[in-house]
A = this chain, B = another copy of it.
């Protein structure tokens, strides 16, 4: 029986959703659902295409109560820059949770991933950062560094921000741009230790393979969200720093064990505790988050299929029956 499938382009999707408090709340609900066991989320399907310098990751999740679920494919092909093409890409597919029928194909080139990843940073800041964040800092100068600062500013409207990157010129240009975007002074800084020392909220967004934040940099009244490490071999926080924090939270423990910062701490033999708590448990009120302004907290975000299903479902809700997209009958 033929049915219509809606095809949406990146431009149409950019018009439909953006990073705001609404999307932060959408992603917050996805984390809560994860914590209360209302999500079926298989392990990430992944191909490392070494010969062609490519990575391919596929995520999905079914969330109880949502009318749809998404399947997302993300591509990273690192020779693309030389061809004048973006390195990252991908798309999402939306299925009916009642019938399994394909409802939509979201040709977003990774846009929705960017938004839902930044929104998760906003959720972490909202629930774990000190109330009194005056200065926020970000390690990294890419798109996610920019978006994470925006999300952090939604959750904790800081007075100033600092940016560090390996390339000082990129940090300078990112700082200028973010000063305009956020309407608060944003400065580039050349020493990550100096950045951490001056911030109450730090987000790490790099593909680093050696820790950028070490235990000696931790100080009272500090929250760190580490979202850069999403693959074996990547790390931004030293194992010693991870265990020195008052509390360390995962988006999903099973993923942080293999892809996130937890892997390094376990491998170093420093993680001799039970499984760390998940962010969703704090949202649900099952566990306490920050209990004292002076604490040091760390949140490790590897990215979950639940976020993808949440943002894709949100897109479909927002667009509703609006005459946007191309309908294909099949």
Contacts and interface: CB of A to CB of B under 8 A. Distances in A.
Total copies of this chain within the assembly: 2
A85 B5 CA distance: 15
A196 interface: no
B52 A97 contact: yes
A83 B45 CA distance: 32
B102 A77 contact: no
B330 A109 contact: yes
Nearest to A106: B330
A12 to B, nearest CB: 9
Contacts of A91: 93, 102, 105
Contacts of A326: 7, 326, 328
A46 B42 contact: yes
Contacts of A16: none
Contacts of A11: 330
B40 A85 contact: no
Nearest to A9: B330
A330 B14 CA distance: 11
A207 interface: no
Contacts of A75: 95, 100-101
Given A76-B100, A102-B89, A47 B42 contact: yes
B76 A73 contact: no
Contacts of A76: 100
Contacts of A71: 56, 58, 73
B40 A48 contact: yes
Given A58-B45, A329-B9, A330-B11, A102 B95 contact: no
A15 interface: no
A77 B79 CA distance: 40
A165 interface: no
Contacts of A101: 75, 85, 89
A140 interface: no
A93 B51 CA distance: 21
A84 interface: yes
A91 to B, nearest CB: 5
Interface string A30-51: 0000000000101111111101
A60 interface: yes
A60 B62 contact: no
Contacts of A62: 47, 49, 56
A72 B50 CA distance: 21
Nearest to A61: B47
A5 B10 CA distance: 12
Contact of A330 (B10, B46, B64, B99): B10
A259 to B, nearest CB: 15
Given A89-B102, A102-B107, 7 more contacts: A1-B85, A56-B71, A71-B73, A89-B101, A91-B102, A93-B93, A109-B330
